[in-house]
Amino acid sequence: MKHISEIMFSIITNEIFSPTDKVSSLALSDEQAQKLYLLSKKHDVTHIIGEFLLKNEISLSTEAKKAFEKYTFTSLRYFENLNYELSALKEFLKNEKTPHIPLKGSSVIRELYPKPWLRSSRDIDMLVPEKDAEATAQKLIDEYGYTKIRENRHDISLKSPTGVNVEIHYALVEDGIAKASSEILASVWDGAKSSDGEYLYSMSDEMYYYYHVAHMAKHFEEGGCGVRPFIDLLLLDLQADADAQMRNELLEKGGLLAFAKASRKLAHAWFCGAEKDEITLQMEEYILRGGSFGSNANRISIQQQKNGGKIGYALSKIFVPYEMLMHYYPILKKHKWLTPFMQVRRWFKLIFCGHLTRTTAEIKYNMNIEKDEAKAMETFLKNIGL
């Protein structure tokens, strides 16, 4: 798989950053094409790989070619649908006179790609003031045919009539990462500027960069963030008008500078040919193993260290902290006194709704992590600032 990952990184480099002779005469066997498809799908970059293979008429079996064609064309169609929904949502918020900031791939980053559709996204993330969030979501449901999926601690998840997932965020706080990050992300509106002179806003460059790194760190701690955020990070770093000093000052203030530096080194190793050191290699292994959605093995290994060891992790699965419990039961935001009752309710859900087997397996895996492996993870997390 190491050879396949090297092919994947070479293709991404060629397609997104600059041409490389490593793939100028690429030839893939059927087995290699299948492995490349599965690996790229795991990291949500199959459309980038497919675009390169099809555009350059790389020899593929009929089956492999059909698979890449289908995924690539589907991604392009979904992008067009998502773009339509994004425009409609912006127009709705403008008419409602609601300040809003498009987040993640919906705004800055996709415009840095050679073709915007190459920055795939599964949903639309929109930030609005907290006082407007509930009314905004409800009007989309009542008058525009949206369906409510769930309400989390910091956002309300909806689905549009055309099937696009829309998340109405009212806070950017990424729970569990560097403690100082909450204060920084809570001040997002302070430096935001109107992009259209009315209700469409954009973050300051350093805030956008900080949020991107914080979001990477959040998913990293949950088991992995995949390859794509590293593409985004390098594209942000390559912006000619970026103020690296201001970005670094905010990262340092928010406790994420070490993680950002480690992530930059990995991005430069993958896409610029930089040398890998011990930390980079460990980070690479972790990311490739976890994929875009992370792996349980990764997540448990990290959370064991975050909770003070095997016993701490086991207890954290039984007694969930208020901040996490509020994620499952948003009513706790207004009625904190219900916390013990929701804790018991969660236990019943674990026992009677099919989650007990999974939780037991996770605790068992946690208890079986070798001492040397746990120590290596502890050192790794310290080295990358998490």
**Cα–Cα distance between 224 and 145 in angstroms, integer?**
34
- The arithmetic mean of pLDDT across residues 201-228, rounded, is 92
**Cα–Cα distance between 172 and 49 in angstroms, integer?**
31
Tokens of 81: 């649908």
Helix (H) or strand (E) holding 156: strand 155-159
**DSSP states along 233-297:** HHHHHT-TT--HHHHHHHHHHTT-HHHHHHHHHHHHHHHS-PPP-HHHHHHHHHHHHH-TT--HH
Residue 347: pLDDT above 70?
yes
Residue 44: pLDDT above 90?
yes
- Predicted pLDDT at 138: 96
- The arithmetic mean of pLDDT across residues 78-104, rounded, is 93
Residue 348: pLDDT above 80?
no
- CA atoms within 13 A of residue 266's CA, in its CB half-sphere: 26
For residues 313 and 73, which has the higher predicted lDDT (pLDDT)? 73
Residue 323: pLDDT above 80?
no
**Cα–Cα distance between 301 and 281 in angstroms, integer?**
17
**Cα–Cα distance between 321 and 118 in angstroms, integer?**
39
pLDDT, tens only, 15-34 = 999 877 667 678 889 999 99
Q: Where are the alpha helices (DSSP H) in 96-191?
A: 130-144, 181-186
Residue 114: pLDDT above 80?
yes
pLDDT, tens only, 217-263 = 988 888 888 999 999 999 999 998 899 999 999 999 999 999 999 99
Average pLDDT, the chain: 88
Residue 175: pLDDT above 70?
no
Range with the lowest mean pLDDT among 19-23, 70-74, 179-183, 292-296? 19-23
- The arithmetic mean of pLDDT across residues 70-78, rounded, is 93
- Predicted pLDDT at 86: 93
- Predicted pLDDT at 340: 83
